[in-house]
Amino acid sequence: MSESSVRLNVFKTYKLYVGGKFPRSESGRVYEVSDSKGKWLANAPLSSRKDARDAVVAARKAFGGWSGATAYNRGQILYRIAEMLEGRREQFVREVGEAEGLSKSKAAAVVDAAIDRWVWYAGWTDKIGQLVGGANPVAGPFFNLSTPEPTGVVTVVAPQDSSFLGLVCVIAPVIATGNTAVVIASEKSPLPALSLGEVLATSDLPGGVVNILSGKADEMGPHLASHQDVNAIDLAGAGPVLAKELEIAAADNLKRVLRPQPVDDWNADPGTSRMTAFLETKTVWHPTGSLGAGGSSY
C-alpha cells in the first residue's frame, strides 16, 4: 500500500451560517450527528435562541439590499449557486448519502435535482411579476398596477427527512422573490444544510440573505415564530403539534404562515405556490387625467 493510504484525513468542523459568516453557536453547545446506521459523523452546533435572534438581525439587515436588487441580478446569483453546487457535487453526494442512507446513485440523483431546482428558481426571479401582477382595468381614469413584493424576513423550518433537496426546495422560492431567510435545518441531518452555507457564501449571495441554523426546531421555533421582526414562517419541517404551536405564536404579529404541505416527492414540479406564499401585492393608483389643456389633474 502506498503511504498516502495511511494518511489521516482532516475532519470538518461544521458551523452555522449567519450574516455571511460561519460562527459556532454562541451557546457553545453541540450535538452528535450520526448517519442512518448510527455511526458518528460530526458534532453540529446546537443553536440557541440567541443564535436565532442574531440570524433575524442579519436577515433584516440584508433585506433592503436583496429585495432592492434587480430580479435579473437575483436570478444570476441563484444560477451561480447552481454553478457552485455543480462543482461540489461529489461532496454533497457523499454528505446526502450519509445523512439519508442513500446509495451513491440515489444520492447523486437527489443532488442533481437540487442543483436543477436552483436553476428553476433562478428563472423565476424576473417572471413571477408578470404572472401574479399586472394592470387592473379599473372603471375610472386611473392607471392601476399591481406588483408583487417580498414580504420580508421569512423563518423556514426545513424538512426533516429530505435534508438537502427538501431544504433547497424551501429556501430557493423564499429568496428568489427578494425575501431573506432564517433556516432551521433538519435536526437529524443538518450537515448538508451547513455545507450549503459554504456554497452560498461563494455564490455572490449577499451575507444575511440566507442564515442557516442547526439544532432543535422545537427550541428555536417558538422564538422565531413569535419574533416581532419576522414577517413570515414556513412550517415545512414542523410536525403537527409544533406546527400548531408555531402558527399560534405567529399570529402575534400576523406573520404569513405556510403550513406543512404533504410532500411525497420533492422532485415533483414545485409550481409557484412556495413563492406566492411569501409575496405581498402592492397596487399603485395614478390619475390619467385628460388631454384638454385645463382638464388634467395630478
Partner 1 sequence: MASLFEYAPAPESRSVVDIAPSYGLFIDGEFTDAADGKVFKTVSPSSEEVLSEVAQAGAADVDRAVKAARKAFEKWSALPGSERAKYLFRIARIIQERSRELAVLETLDNGKPIKETRDADLPLVAAHFFYYAGWADKLDHAGYGANPRPLGVAGQVIPWNFPLLMLAWKIAPALATGNTVVLKPAETTPLSALFFADICRQAGLPKGVVNILTGYGDAGAALVEHPDVNKVAFTGSTAVGKAIARSIAGTDKKVTLELGGKGANIVFDDAPIDQAVEGIVNGIFFNQGQVCCAGSRLLVQESIHDELLDSLKRRLSTLRLGDPLDKNTDIGAINSAEQLARITALADTGEAEGAERWSPACELPSAGYWFAPTLFSNVTQAHTVARDEIFGPVLSVLTFRTPDEAVAKANNSQYGLSAGIWTEKGSRILAVANQLRAGVVWANTFNKFDPTSPFGGYKESGFGREGGRHGLEAYLDV
Residues in touch with partner 1 (CB under 8 A): 71-72, 75-76, 79, 116, 119-120, 122-127, 129-131, 141, 143, 269, 272, 286-293, 296-298
Closer CB to partner 1, residue 36 or residue 288?
288
Cα gap 166→162, rounded to integer Å:
5
Q: Which is nearer to partner 1, 71 or 201 (CB)?
A: 71
Are 27 and 6 a contacting pair, CB within 8 Å? no
Nearest approach, Cβ of 138 to partner 1 (angstroms)?
A: 13
Structural contact between residues 174 and 274, judged by C-beta atoms closer than 8 angstroms: yes
| CB of 176 or CB of 233, closer to partner 1 | 176
Shortest distance (Å) from residue 148 CB to partner 1:
14
Q: Give whichever of 75 and 178 is closer to partner 1, judged by the CB atom.
A: 75
- Contact present, 253 and 148 (Cβ < 8 Å): no
Nearer to partner 1, 38 or 295 (CB): 295
Q: Where are the beta strands (DSSP E) in 52-138?
A: 134-135
**Strands 142-150 and 232-234: what pairing?**
unpaired
Cell digits for 220? 428555536
Angle CA 36–243–158, to nearest 5: 45
* Smaller CB separation from partner 1, 48 or 177: 177
- Report in angstroms how near the CB of residue 95 gets to partner 1 at its nearest: 24
How many CB atoms are located within 10 Å of the residue 55 CB?
A: 32
Beta strands at 180-184 and 153-157: parallel, antiparallel or unpaired: parallel
Nearer to partner 1, 8 or 293 (CB): 293
Considering the complex, what minimum distance in angstroms separates the CB of residue 177 from partner 1? 14
Terminal-residue alpha carbon distance, the chain: 84
Task: Choose between 38 and 271: whose C-beta lies nearer to partner 1.
Answer: 271
Q: Are strands 210-213 and 180-184 parallel, antiparallel or unpaired?
A: parallel
Element (H, E) at 129: helix 128-132
In the block, residue with C-alpha cell 395614478: 286
CB of 180 to partner 1, least distance (A): 22
Please count the residues of the chain: 298
Residue 153, CB-side half-sphere exposure with 13 Å CA sphere: 26
Helix (H) / strand (E) element for 134: namely strand 134-135
Q: How far is the CB of 182 from partner 1 (least distance, A)?
A: 27
Smallest gap, in angstroms, from Cβ of residue 155 to partner 1? 27
Query: How far is residue 36's CA from residue 98's CA, in Å, rounded to a whole number?
Result: 7
- Minimum Å distance from CB 130 to partner 1? 5
